[in-house]
Amino acid sequence: MKIPALLAGLLTVVASPALAQSPQPEDGTGRKAHTLARAQRHMVAAANPDAVTAGLEMLRAGGSAADAAVAVQLVLNLVEPQSSGIGGGAFLLHHDGASKELIAYDGRETAPTAATEKLFLRIDGMPMGFFDAVVGGRSVGTPGTVALLASVHETHGKLPWKRLFEPAIALAENGFTVNARLEGLLQGRRGERLRSHAPAANYFFPGGVPLKAGQTVTNKPFADTLRTIAENGSEAFYTGAIASDVVATVQGATGNPGVLSEADLAGYRAIKRAPVCHIYRGHRVCGMGPPSSGALTVGQILGILEHFDLPGLGPNNVESWHLIAEASKLAFADRALYMADADFVSVPVKGLLDPAYLTGRAQSITLNKPQETPVAAGNPPWRDGARFAPDQMRGRPGTSHISIIDGDGNAVSMTTTIEGAFGSQLMVRGFLLNNELTDFSFRPTRGGRPVANRVESGKRPRSSMAPTMVFDSEGNLELIIGSPGGSRIIGYVAQTVIAVLDWDLDIQAAIDLGHVVNLNGDTDLEAGTSAVLLQPGLATRGHETRLRDLNSGLHGIVVTKDGLFGGADPRREGVARGD
């Protein structure tokens, strides 16, 4: 790759311990990384084996990737309720294998009509404590997942809507096995918060005792809810008895009621949007635009890094990780200032990905020392953001990701969430409600300027979810990827794309790499993985580093002439399987 003259002199190769060949990380239960999955016809990669089985059942029955996505999501709601479900929202990319059309589906939650910019301010005008805002109805946005699934199925589905609900209903009625991750999340402060609402406390702590790994659990209220939606369509979720119960739960939450109304539910619509795409070393990388910051921030990181020889440096060189951290600082600075729901504020999408602008941003990076943080936002062309103040809110990692490809080449990349673990902690009819409104800035203004991501009636909070697809120069699908992880999703996805495209790692090896993440502050290294070997080299260059549990949930599929290759994150219990 040709390096711009201004930057060419900066590149040096400094050896560091072999990261790609080091022992693979564990997921907290002692399980090692998965082997690379292979298939010829179709494949599903998701965060739970039961969910993957449900998706494959649909594909084997002649269903499409869209059909499989519905079945997978419904089972995930049951078996990992802390992460996603019908009480939350999602973003989904759909690639048509025949026409090569790519559509981005926005099922993000919306702020209730009655919500104002003062939603998370105390009487004295100061922001509420984060978990004071989370627990209860105040944090609940209008759920979008059911509407998104219905829209995707209507456009791309092949099997009857009702058929897609059968695996989840059967598991909810007959029982599923609790895994170690769910058991662990019921301990400590998370568990105490979850006990604050009786339906959730009774389900997750039967007889006052938390669920244990290996225990078989049923959820008959959820089975009844799914049966109602299966028989009567998505309208049964947004109107009628289910909607009434959701609103009563939100408005009746003791100590922290919300303002969600039945009119908010009845008026919710999922939106088809154009994906945000950019070119990286000849590949077209596409994702979800505003209200998600995912595609823009991933795109900026990659666009900045294109000015450096990452392919030549490789994954075993500390310089690669220094550059990734530095590019991330610059991208997150722009994210904080400019990115929000583009239906409410003008987001300079084109300017943020402008090659000349990113070249200028790249010129602030040197190899011998890091940039001081926080790095300031840049001045992209076509901007209308100078009047805004930066937003420092960061999402919580209560999310899941699904990657699917069917036998006709149709593909889905779907990231789905209820925001933090167990969402608002409110449970109704067997499912948890989101706390997505806490993704808004609690402060509506800073220094006399409005924050772009402030609360507004009907607005969708900024997200970091980054469902991603990568295409070659001829428009052929190469990679499906995404992850949970709050604002760190962006770093997880960018790193995996780099590992596949620049370092030629297979998808499982790319997912297994230890994480290095910078959100425009300290550089976080994933504890217990090969990433800790980078600490001395990064510290020598002046990085402030922290060892952290960076619990991603990357699930990806690589498409080649030799077949499909899938990877699942060893940090969770998911798998990639196909035929």
pLDDT digits (tens, 9 = 90+) for 143-154: 999 999 999 999
Reading the block at residue 478, the tokens are 């190469």
Fill in the DSSP letter of residue 235. H
What integer best gives the mean pLDDT of the chain? 92
**Residue 18: is its pLDDT beyond 60?**
no
Q: Across-strand partners of 546?
A: 524
Question: 256 to each of 80, 87, 436, how far by Cα in Å?
Answer: 25, 18, 15
CA-closest candidate to residue 236, choices 244, 246, 228, 248: 228
CA distance 457 to 283: 38
CA distance 66 to 156: 6
Fill in the DSSP letter of residue 267. T
pLDDT band per the 50, 70, 90 thresholds, residue 9: very low
In 131-254 the beta strands, taken as DSSP E runs, fall at 176-177, 216-217
CB 399 within 8 A of CB 553: yes
Average pLDDT over residues 206-223: 97
Tally the C-alpha atoms within 13 A of residue 376's C-alpha that lie toward its C-beta.
Answer: 5
pLDDT score at 567: 98
State pLDDT tens for residues 238-295: 999 999 999 999 999 999 999 999 999 999 999 999 999 999 999 999 999 999 999 9
pLDDT score at 66: 98
> Of all residues in the chain, what percent carry a pLDDT higher than 90?
89
Burial of 9 (0-12, 13-18, 19+ CB in 10 A): exposed
**Residue 115: is its pLDDT beyond 90?**
yes
pLDDT score at 161: 98
CB 56 within 8 A of CB 579: yes
pLDDT score at 73: 98
CA distance 408 to 98: 8
**Residue located via tokens 């939106």:** 271
CA distance 534 to 538: 6
523-531 long-range Cβ contacts below 8 angstroms, 24+ apart: 523/325, 523/370, 524/488, 524/548, 524/550, 526/25, 526/550, 528/25, 528/26, 529/22, 529/25, 530/17, 530/19, 530/20, 530/22, 530/23, 530/25, 531/19, 531/321
CB atoms inside a 10 Å sphere around CB 192? 12
Reading the block at residue 128, the tokens are 């509420």
pLDDT score at 27: 37
Q: Does a cis peptide bond (omega within 30 degrees of 0) precede residue 374?
A: yes
Average pLDDT over residues 501-529: 97
Burial of 152 (0-12, 13-18, 19+ CB in 10 A): buried
State pLDDT tens for residues 481-514: 999 999 999 999 999 999 999 999 999 999 999 9
CA distance 294 to 335: 9
CA distance 496 to 509: 9
Reading the block at residue 343, the tokens are 């239906």
Would you kindly state where each structural domain of the chain is located, as residue ranges?
37-273+395-515+563-578
CA distance 67 to 497: 26
State pLDDT tens for residues 352-406: 999 999 999 999 999 889 999 999 999 999 765 556 777 665 555 579 999 999 9
CA distance 49 to 311: 34
pLDDT score at 351: 96
As a CATH number, domain 37-273+395-515+563-578 is: 3.60.20.40
pLDDT score at 368: 87
State pLDDT tens for residues 416-464: 999 999 999 999 999 999 999 999 999 999 888 899 999 999 999 999 9
DSSP secondary structure letters along 474-527:
TS-EEEEE---SGGGHHHHHHHHHHHHHTT---HHHHHHSPPEEESSSSEEEET
CB 349 within 8 A of CB 292: no
Reading the block at residue 496, the tokens are 């995996």
- Residues annotated catalytic, as ranges: 399
CB 425 within 8 A of CB 134: yes
CB 9 within 8 A of CB 539: no
Q: Does a cis peptide bond (omega within 30 degrees of 0) precede residue 291?
A: yes
CA-closest candidate to residue 389, choices 341, 337, 349: 337
pLDDT score at 397: 55
**Residue 31: is its pLDDT beyond 80?**
no
Reading the block at residue 376, the tokens are 């300031």
CA distance 146 to 151: 9
State pLDDT tens for residues 316-334: 999 999 999 999 999 999 9
